[in-house]
């Protein structure tokens, strides 16, 4: 089982203006997507860019774990990512896959 710290190290590598999914991180680390989600829920205040981790469809499923439910969208939009109805528009354009980028 991976530690939260190992998950955080991967999340820190997501470039500004890009996002990835819980599942992509889980696949890269050979762990479960739920563990990645739990790590993101516990990452606030640690300088981890948790706002860059979304579900496999680009939906901001973690937004309710931020101090303000609009904070995740605000942070992503500040990086140039377009969002509509809690979902990243043109998700493939912004997707960063550690399974491809870090190999």
Q: Is the pTM here over 0.85, yes or no? A: yes
Give the pLDDT score at 103: 65
Give the pLDDT score at 22: 98
Number of domains in the chain: 1
CA distance 13 to 91: 18
* CATH number where 8 lies: 1.10.10.10
Report residue 83's pLDDT band, with 50, 70 and 90 as the boundaries: very high
- Residue 46 maps to a domain: yes
Query: Given a cut of 90, is residue 10 above it in pLDDT?
Result: yes
- The per-residue pLDDT for range 20-71, each reduced to its tens digit, is 999 999 999 999 999 999 999 999 889 999 999 999 999 999 999 999 999 9
């Amino acid at each position: 089982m991976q530690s939260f710290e190992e998950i955080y190290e991967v999340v820190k590598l997501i470039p500004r203006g890009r996002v990835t999914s819980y599942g992509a991180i889980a696949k890269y680390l050979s762990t479960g997507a739920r563990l990645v989600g739990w790590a993101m829920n516990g990452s606030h205040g640690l300088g981890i860019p948790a706002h860059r981790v979304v579900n496999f469809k680009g939906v901001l499923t973690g937004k309710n774990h931020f101090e303000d439910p609009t904070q995740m969208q605000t942070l992503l939009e500040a990086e140039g990512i377009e969002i509509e109805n809690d979902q990243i528009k043109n998700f493939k354009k912004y997707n960063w896959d550690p399974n491809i980028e870090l190999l």
